[in-house]
Amino acid sequence: MKKFIKLVLALGVLFFVASPLVQAAVPNTPINWGFKKASEGRPADAGKQHEQLLEKYGAVYKGDSNKKEIYLTFDNGYENGYTNQILDVLKKEKVPATFFVTGHYLESAEDQVIRMVEEGHIVGNHSYYHPDLTQVDDARVKRELDRVKKLTYELTGQKHMSYLRPPRGVFSERTLKLAKDAGYTHVFWSLAFVDWNTDQQKGWEYSYNNIMRQIHPGAILLLHTVSKDNADALEKVIKDLKKDGYTFKSLDDLFANKEFDNPMLHKK
């Protein structure tokens, strides 16, 4: 009898080790998004290690560097009085954008969010409370994303929410996997600068020059709507880039041209 019990235990251990259902934990080491900035039209470069990790989970930070296409994105943590100005410019110039919103923004700037969707823009997920997603458990990550998605739908009727920008640009392989499993694509950026300090605005030329200095084919721009500099510079940025042969595309356009397995891509 004892030999039989030992045999059963041994087989159980063997099954536990060999079973494909038993997988090692996905690494949760926090990574701060960063890259070598673009210059003179050469695209930004996040490095081989970052790019391989992003590719594994279908995440992006730039588009095709052989096409003069630009993807305009904004992060909306709170309303500072400039979003309508930005929306006015986008409407006038017929330029699409994606706005990554938090729960606070949804709760406090309903009219702006409704207008975004009504005018053909995409609302993306920036989490509800803006935590470091690598420092909260799986259930909390899901709640953060679900609440933003649900409230956006209730406000605007946007049924699908497919794009996620992690708070503070902090992520890990674990959070990449969690997001992908939930039907989200991480969207990072290849062009950004310090534009969020509302008490350190420097004038429209500061924003304009930073954008034009770093612009490159396939750029995904990250701008913050709290910036007066951005709002004041945006129209000239768009007009001058159009003159230089650039076209502005939405994230849906980017993924429509990628071989990427995500059945929950945003659809109007």
Active site residue 75: yes
- Could you say which of 126, 224, 229, 266 is catalytic? 224
The secondary element (H helix, E strand) that includes residue 79 is none
Q: One of 75, 229, 232, 252 is an active-site residue; which one?
A: 75
Do 132 and 30 contact (CB within 8 A), yes or no?
A: yes
Q: Two tokens at 99?
A: 């706005």
Amino acid at 258: K
Provide the 3-class DSSP secondary structure of residue 58.
coil
- Where are the strands (E) in the chain, listed by range? 31-32, 69-76, 98-101, 122-125, 163-164, 170-171, 185-186, 219-224, 247-249
Determine whether 50 is an active site residue.
no
**In the numeric block, which tokens belong to residue 104?**
């606070």
- The set of catalytic residues is 75, 224
